[in-house]
Amino acid sequence: MFEECPEVTFLLRTWINGGSALPAVRMMIENGYGFEAACTANVAMKRPDCDEREALLDIIGEVANTSDEWVEALREFARAPSEERWDELFRFAPEDVFYQRLRHTIAILMALRCDADILFRCAFKNGMTSDAFDVARSGLVDPQTIVARGDGSPVRSAWLGLAALAAFARGDRWNTIGYLREACLDEETAFLAWASNSEIRQDADEQLIAQLDALDIPEV
């Protein structure tokens, strides 16, 4: 991908091997790879040992073309969130940076401790993105909010899997199992819950894994 800029490839390898992500991200931006830079920054921030979160978040904001006025508007939203105010915020968001603007907005509102249930309903009313997993695994969103989002959806199994992840983050074993089991009932769409199932199994104790196995919830 970065044949014209081999320095980016070198810096990415350095980051993957335990170095800083910032040099690679900054060089990507300098060479016109803004979207790739923002995606890399998002991945880097999710690493447990990341100590560059604030700087990486600023870079995503730069790519998303956010301003100080936008951040202040998000502070006001966090104090009194609603779906109507969300629609007002995004009504005139530039189409070419909409996706990164959305991701940056979710990260800021999570940091501001915005009501997670309202944030979830607003941010994912048009579909699921990878950020939905971050909100779910925070333990702040009610699993029922996620289940309600999936009602009537052709990909309901994906939403049920995400609800299971949210329940797991809250230490709710009963609903973790229940949502995963329900997600697996439809053989044609059960695979949509595999990502959540896999993440839960990775962190589950032996007892929970045994319960999942006993209910034929597949190991993936």
Q: What is the pLDDT of residues 19-75, one digit of tens each?
A: 888 888 888 878 877 778 777 877 787 777 778 877 887 777 777 677 778 888 888
Residues 6 or more apart in contact with residue 164 via CB below 8 angstroms: 143, 175, 176, 177, 178, 179, 180, 183, 193, 196, 197, 200
What whole-number distance in Å separates Cα of residue 207 and Cα of residue 198?
16
- pLDDT < 50 regions, the chain: none
Closest by CA to 100, choosing from 68, 138, 130, is: 130
**C-beta of residue 60 within 8 angstroms of C-beta of residue 104:** yes
Q: CA angle, corner 118, sides to 59 and 197, nearest 5?
A: 80
> 164 near 193, Cβ under 8 Å?
yes
Q: Is 100 exposed, middle or buried (0-12, 13-18, 19+ CB in 10 A)?
A: buried
Please give the model's pTM, rounded to 2 decimal places: 0.77
pLDDT value of position 1? 63
Residue 201 amino acid letter = R
**197 and 189 in contact (C-beta within 8 Å)?**
no
Q: What is the pLDDT of residue 146?
A: 98
The predicted structure's pLDDT at residue 149? 96
Q: Return the pLDDT at 53.
A: 78
Return the DSSP state at 216.
T
Q: Which pLDDT score is estimated for 100?
A: 80
Q: Determine the residue type at 138.
A: S
Q: How many CA atoms lie within 13 A of 199 on its CB side?
A: 17
